[in-house]
Amino acid sequence: MSALGLSEHEGSLHSSAASIAAEARQWVLEPETEYRFELDPRTTLAIKLVNGQAEIFGSELAESTTYLFGLECKAAVYTWQGCTIEVTGHPSTEYVSEETPLNAFANIHLALEQMRVRALRAIHGSPPSDDEDPDPNPEPPRVLILGPDNSGKTTLTKTLVNYATRTGQGWSPMLVNVDPGEGGWAAPGAISAAAISSPIQTSTPAATFGSAATSAPHHISSNSLSSLSYWYGHAEMRRNPLLMDRLIRNLGENIWERWDADLEARASGLIVDTPSSFAANSGANSDHRQSLIKACVDAFRINVILVVGHEKLNVEMQRTYGSRVVVVKIPKSGGVVELDAGYRERIRRYQLHNYMYGRVLEPPSGLAVNTYLQGGEQTPELSLNLAPQSTVVSFGDLTIYRIGEETMAPTSALPIGATRVVSEMQPLLVDPAQPGSGLYNAVLALLAPPNPDEAERYDEEVLDLPVVGYLAITALDIPNKRMTVLAPSQGSLVGRTAIVGSFEWQE
Ligand SMILES: Nc1ncnc2c1ncn2[C@@H]1O[C@H](COP(=O)(O)OP(=O)(O)OP(=O)(O)O)[C@@H](O)[C@H]1O
């Protein structure tokens, strides 16, 4: 399988090979082993496949191409057949491991692949082949991945999606991210889905699932995905589980509407990455946890649940869903890195920054300029360096809501005896002119236009509108009723609706 269309860069790579070799270290990897690395802030690492075959979380490396990693990336170069890689830079940790769960991942992939093939055959009306079970309605795989903190759920999701895109069958599995703590394709706080047609590169955690078309210009991003997102607005599920439930169902409905119009796309199936708060030992409220798992199972019509490294959750899922869903336990990789709260906070900042400005990683010293790619997507000539626009707009240009949270006058300002009752789902209008509105340096999701037909409108409609982009409010001028808004591209905000959550913009 040819991984990437990189041939136009190869000339410059060869011409400066000598300068790379000056600081590069070679690692010879035996078959079925992996080179693991972890980067500190402000360090980058360059990896070149010298010979053999290698992949990072299922995405193949092209030979003689130098890939650049940064922003505290932690990852592994795995090889099925053995390879030699050349590494330039100083990771805080690096080692080779012979123990990986990749065989288990590959077996799961093969089983999912069979499901896709059978489903597609049924869609085309072809008779099943002899070796198949005579299921009259074979369904494509719709997989829910569950597991505790740092069990490797996102890595497994990415690996399975990447393997599906590499089969040469033309699959575009839907990758669904219902972990609002992870940016998905744009800003953290969203839950989103995108059909993936080519392997997702790993280069920084600022774009775990590749770049979104909403931010990076289409023509320069190999994975310029058109994602479908809903804004939850917080990193933690416990902030508003009811809202999360509704958004999951919205996302599912929207995916099914698309699939109803495109049966072949449906055969690729979907894979859902979930937050660790869905797993049993995270201290999350058990009722919420179970209802959100159920929301996913219902909304995405899940038929396979993969539980990563958690025996108790595996048993619980077998009991609850085992009669109608295949539940499989997957071993946790010893390479998964424990990420602490400070790291997660920094990653969210990187993601927001990445959304506005794109990303440019400085190559490690000793690596000549013009010799590297950033996750296969960037070269110095074709940089993912965006120029966001700061625009001054009137308060009245944008209608801003906050969902289910009181932020206007303090309770002490209410009449004596009165309590304020706000439903978790109630969209509350936020007035930027009110001191303490919480809008200064807030990140907002800009929503798709509401239904043009007034008769179809309803009170909670803003909860059901998908996101079309994000912006940050960087200045508020209350006397003149104006605010400064930062967004990746210029466009009129007049008459638009936005939702504010709990994410702050920091330069
Ligand atoms: N084999 C490996 N070698 C090195 N790093 C790895 C390996 N597998 C995963 N990682 C890294 O470990 C970190 C945690 O992995 P991952 O995000 O897949 O876990 P998770 O269970 O989804 O986490 P969360 O707690 O956020 O839900 C990530 O930075 C990932 O890139």
The verdict on the CB of residue 488 being under 6 Å from ligand 1 is no
- State the closest ligand 1 atom to the C-alpha of 202, by its place in the atom list counted from 1: 31
Long-range contacts of 133-137 (CB under 8 A, 24+ apart): none
Tell how far the Cα of 150 is from the centroid of ligand 1, in angstroms. 6
159 lines ligand 1 (CB under 6 A): no
The SS3 call for residue 229 is strand
**Angle at which helices 102-124 and 153-165 pack, to 10 degrees?**
50
Q: What is the pLDDT of residues 442-490, one digit of tens each?
A: 999 999 988 888 888 888 899 999 998 899 999 999 999 999 999 887 6
SS3 115: helix
- Residue 320, number of CB atoms within 10 A of its CB: 16
State pTM to two decimals.
0.87
pLDDT 10s digits, 167-184: 999 999 999 999 998 877
Whether 167 is in the pocket of ligand 1, judged by its Cβ within 6 Å, is no
Phi then psi for residue 6, to 5 deg, are -110, 5
Q: Which of 337, 345, 346, 350 to mutate to test the pocket of ligand 1 (most atoms within 8 A of CB)?
A: 337
Torsion of the alpha carbons at 222, 189, 351 and 297, rounded to the nearest 10:
-40
Q: Could you tell me the distance, in angstroms and rounded to a whole number, from the CA of residue 456 to the centre of ligand 1? A: 44
| Beta-carbon count within 10 A of 114 CB | 14
Q: Which residue has the tokens 């309803």?
A: 458
CA 81 from centroid of its chain's CA atoms: 29
Instruction: Give the domains, in start order, of the chain with CATH numbers.
Output: 7-99+336-374 (2.60.120.1030), 102-330 (3.40.50.300), 389-504 (2.40.30.330)
Distance CA 293, CA 325 (A): 13
Rounded Cα distance between 392 and 373, Å, is 36
Q: Whose CA is nearest to atom 19 of ligand 1?
A: 152
Counting every residue, how long is the chain?
507
Beta strand pairing call for 270-273 and 142-146: parallel
Strands 190-195 and 174-177: antiparallel
Is this prediction's ipTM beyond 0.90? Answer: yes
- Show pLDDT as tens, one digit a residue, over the chain (507 residues): 333 222 333 323 333 333 444 478 999 999 999 999 999 988 889 999 999 999 999 999 999 888 889 889 999 999 999 999 999 988 999 999 999 999 999 999 999 999 999 999 988 887 666 565 667 789 999 999 999 989 999 999 999 999 999 999 999 999 999 999 887 777 899 999 999 999 998 888 887 887 654 444 333 333 445 689 999 999 988 889 999 999 999 999 999 999 998 888 999 999 999 999 988 655 556 778 899 999 999 999 999 999 999 999 999 999 999 999 999 999 999 999 988 888 888 888 888 888 888 766 777 776 665 555 554 444 433 345 566 778 899 999 999 999 986 544 455 555 566 555 568 888 999 999 988 889 999 999 999 988 888 888 888 899 999 998 899 999 999 999 999 999 887 677 877 999 999 999 887
Radius of gyration of the chain (CA): 24
Instruction: Using the mean position of ligand 1's atoms as its centre, give its distance from the Cα of residue 203 in Å.
Output: 13
* N-terminal to C-terminal alpha carbon distance within the chain: 41
Q: Is 183 in the pocket of ligand 1 (CB under 6 A)?
A: no
277 lines ligand 1 (CB under 6 A): no
